[in-house]
């Protein structure tokens, strides 16, 4: 990094710190005192500002509440934060041994981003790689595992694309509309979620309506002729609750071809989203929950590599996910049962037209995939004493995924994969300090046979000190996708085997100063066997030898005062590909592509102007990493980079909010994928009306 760049970032930090100090005295004097009981290890710290001085209006936007531990890895001071991913039953975050990050709706709003992938940047152990412009393929690597090793759930509904090459989830089309929280759990989770949960799981939970009707409508615009409009409403009436939201995003974008390679033609993106969640709860024993989400997008693309500007190429995307859950709990609460049906339907298209870039060449491809799942789960809490608690969960599910495609090169006939699974988990609590889980699962695929997995977790909190000592060990598997097995032209491999992994981690966390400082560190290791890779020279899938990822994840939460937080994360990771990896390694083995060894992130958030405004500054540093280019494929080094973003919200009245953000504040020039462009400095502003 150049000296001038280092100076710029140093000045940015000094400016932010100076603004904080200049604003501190006047506003701090009027800030209501924080109840000391709320900073105890068992309660969240609430710093909702006093808004009694704001002009009268029907409802106000709460910028966010600070909850120590949310955003860290299972904090002892996370209070009553309930998470769904670490176990088969909802569990308090401070009682799980798994490595979990939670991002709340308030934190999403503070950052001002409209895409889930942008919100995930900076999560420990997680890398986001977007192939250029908004709307282009966006991958997430958890602890170095490939994108297809992360299982994505929307309100519990499996949302991975069954007809994509690796059955991966593309985050480019996932907006933040109507989202209540995002949970990220790292490490093998196949015991809980089956195939694809070999590297980790991301759960996106939709807002659940409660109380009197409320809503919000917003619009913003800015760089690249970008415009976004969104609206949502939620509430409950008697035994019925509801929430619904939708948005439309439109941008002219920038060139998908990196500017050093001559990219000048803008590549636009349009995305429409609708989401809803409704439910009926006639009494305390029965609940029926219905969720659905639909999104449709169109993105312009550029052609080939070296990537060439192309005015005609485009990709389309549609996905609908839906599900219904019927929940029963007996009067005493010691038995619960859930029967759920989930469906996800994906359609993708790709079009290339004859032009000056493509010559007479044209291409049309249509890809369709569908996943359906029935899941029956039962939990018996058979011990709930002061010194010992225990519950057992058992369940069974059936899943089928179907895919087909048609394009100008051939026909992918309709193919399917079916999985029948049984699973169980034992949760045990010893006193108020030791929490243990053990789980097993068996998945039986019609093509790949039985695959058995296990998982153990443990968390021990040292009494008095609240030191958290935790660890997990588990196995995972991933059934090859429809495309990897059945793709025509020799691309698919009918003899390909399922991938397997064994992963473990060990972490320590120590809350300090009544939970106002919470550092944590975790060591992890994942070993993959039968690792599925694509030979970019022979154009076929194959099972590679063992792949390994190891590293450290460090996260720290600082509650600087009642209105100010700073969260930091650092990940050091080494990945080892086999000696026969394609493209060829630099030695006997080498790093997996696009995985940096070093990554650092920070989020500074402060309420200013007597709580009427919220200011957020985010920073991400990504170290150098390898990518591939050319034919035959060869490795190339991508330079490290630092990107700053900032966002500001201001409550003009209780009803009207103004907001804006600036991305890539210092106009950093960088690439996430070799040869593909990234956005220069860009600014956006808008307003919202609440009721």
Element at 191 (helix H, strand E):
helix 190-193
Q: Which class for 428: exposed (0-12), middle (13-18), buried (19 or more C-beta within 10 A)?
A: middle
Q: Please determine, for residue 393, whether its predicted confidence score (pLDDT) is greater than 90.
A: yes
Mark 179-212 as b/e (b = at least 16 C-beta within 10 Å).
bbbbbbbbbbbbbbbbbbbbbbbbbbbbbbbeee
What's the pLDDT score for residue 475? 97
Contact at 8 Å (CB) between 442 and 450? yes
Element at 13 (helix H, strand E):
helix 3-30
Strand pairing category for 625-629 and 613-622: unpaired
Average pLDDT over residues 79-107: 89
Average pLDDT over residues 503-525: 94
- Name 179's bridge partners: 206
C-alpha closest to that of 271 among 317, 238, 236: 317
DSSP 630: T
pTM of this structure: 0.88
Q: What is the pLDDT of residues 47-72, one digit of tens each?
A: 233 333 332 222 222 223 334 334 44
C-alpha dihedral, 69 to 73 to 75 to 78, nearest 10°: 40
649: three-class secondary structure by DSSP:
strand
Q: What is the pLDDT of residues 327-343, one digit of tens each?
A: 999 999 999 999 999 99
The structure tokens listed for 490 are: 């020799």
Q: Please determine, for residue 229, whether its predicted confidence score (pLDDT) is greater than 60.
A: yes
The share of the chain scoring above pLDDT 70, in percent, equals: 83
632 compared with 427, residue with greater pLDDT: 427
What's the pLDDT score for residue 601? 96
Q: Roughly how many angstroms between the first and final C-alpha of the chain, as a whole number? A: 48
Q: Which class for 667: exposed (0-12), middle (13-18), buried (19 or more C-beta within 10 A)?
A: exposed
Q: Please determine, for residue 137, whether its predicted confidence score (pLDDT) is greater than 60.
A: yes
The domains found in the chain, sorted by start residue, are: 31-312+337-690 (2.40.170.20)
DSSP result, 558-576: EEEETTEEEEEEEEEEEEE
């Amino acid at each position: 990094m150049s000296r001038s760049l280092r100076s710029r970032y140093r000045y940015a930090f000094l400016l932010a710190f100076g603004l904080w100090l200049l604003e501190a005295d006047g506003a701090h004097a009027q800030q209501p005192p924080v109840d000391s009981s709320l900073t105890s290890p068992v309660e969240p710290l609430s710093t909702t500002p006093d808004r009694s001085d704001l002009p009268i209006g029907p409802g106000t936007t709460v910028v966010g509440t600070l909850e120590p531990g949310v955003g860290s890895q299972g904090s002892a001071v996370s209070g009553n934060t309930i998470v769904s991913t670490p176990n088969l039953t909802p569990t308090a975050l401070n009682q799980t041994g798994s490595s979990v990050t939670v991002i709340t709706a308030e934190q999403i709003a503070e950052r001002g981003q409209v895409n889930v992938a942008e919100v995930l940047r900076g999560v420990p152990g997680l890398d986001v790689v977007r192939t250029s412009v908004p709307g282009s393929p966006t991958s997430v690597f958890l602890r170095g595992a490939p994108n297809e090793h992360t299982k994505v759930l929307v309100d519990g509904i499996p949302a991975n694309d069954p007809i994509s090459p690796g059955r991966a989830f593309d985050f480019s089309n996932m907006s933040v509309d109507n989202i209540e929280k995002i949970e990220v759990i790292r490490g093998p989770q196949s015991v809980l979620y089956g195939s694809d949960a070999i590297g980790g799981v991301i759960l996106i939970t939709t807002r659940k309506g409660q109380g009197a009707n409320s809503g919000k409508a917003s619009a913003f615009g800015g760089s690249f002729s970008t415009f976004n409009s969104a609206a949502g409403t939620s509430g409950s009436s008697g035994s019925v609750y509801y929430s619904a939201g939708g948005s439309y995003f439109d941008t002219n974008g920038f060139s998908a071809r990196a500017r050093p390679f001559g990219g000048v033609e803008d590549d636009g993106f349009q995305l429409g989203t609708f989401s809803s969640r409704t439910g009926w709860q006639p009494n305390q024993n029965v609940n029926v929950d219905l969720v659905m989400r639909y999104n449709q997008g169109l993105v312009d693309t550029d052609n080939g590599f070296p990537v060439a500007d192309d005015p005609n190429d485009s990709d389309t995307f549609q996905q609908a996910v839906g599900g219904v859950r019927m929940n029963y709990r007996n009067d005493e609460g010691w038995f619960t049962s859930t029967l759920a049906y989930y469906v996800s339907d994906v359609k993708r298209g790709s079009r290339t037209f004859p032009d000056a870039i493509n010559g007479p060449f044209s291409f049309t491809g249509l890809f369709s995939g569908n996943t359906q799942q029935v899941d029956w789960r039962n939990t018996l809490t058979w011990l709930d004493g002061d010194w010992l608690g225990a519950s057992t969960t058992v369940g069974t599910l059936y899943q089928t995924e179907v895919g087909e495609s048609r394009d100008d090169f051939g026909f992918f006939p309709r193919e399917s994969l079916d999985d029948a699974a049984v699973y169980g988990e034992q949760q045990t609590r010893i006193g108020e300090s030791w929490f243990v889980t053990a789980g097993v699962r068996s998945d039986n695929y019609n093509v790949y046979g039985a695959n058995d997995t296990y998982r153990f977790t443990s968390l021990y909190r040292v009494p008095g000190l609240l030191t958290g000592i935790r660890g997990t060990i588990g196995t995972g598997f991933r059934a090859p996708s429809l495309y990897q097995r059945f793709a025509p032209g020799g691309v698919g491999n009918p003899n390909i085997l399922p991938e397997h992994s064994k992963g473990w981690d060990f972490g320590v966390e120590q809350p300090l100063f009544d939970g106002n400082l919470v550092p944590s560190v975790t060591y992890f290791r994942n070993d993959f066997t039968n690792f599925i890779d694509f030979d970019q020279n022979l154009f076929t899938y194959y099972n590679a030898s063992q792949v390994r990822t190891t590293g450290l994840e460090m996260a720290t939460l600082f509650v600087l005062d009642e209105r100010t937080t700073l969260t930091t994360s650092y990940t050091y990771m080494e990945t080892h590909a086999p000696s026969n990896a394609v493209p060829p390694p630099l030695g006997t083995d080498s790093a997996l592509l696009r995985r940096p060894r070093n990554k650092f992130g920070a989020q500074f958030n402060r309420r200013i102007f007597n709580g009427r405004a919220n200011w957020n500054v985010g920073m991400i540093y990504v170290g150098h990493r390898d990518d591939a280019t050319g034919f035959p494929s060869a490795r190339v080094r991508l330079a490290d980079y630092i990107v700053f973003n900032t966002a500001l919200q201001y409550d003009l009245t209780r009803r009207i909010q103004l907001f804006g953000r600036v991305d890539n504040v210092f106009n950093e020039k960088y690439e996430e994928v070799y040869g593909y462009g990234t956005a220069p400095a860009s600014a956006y502003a808008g307003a919202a009306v609440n009721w």
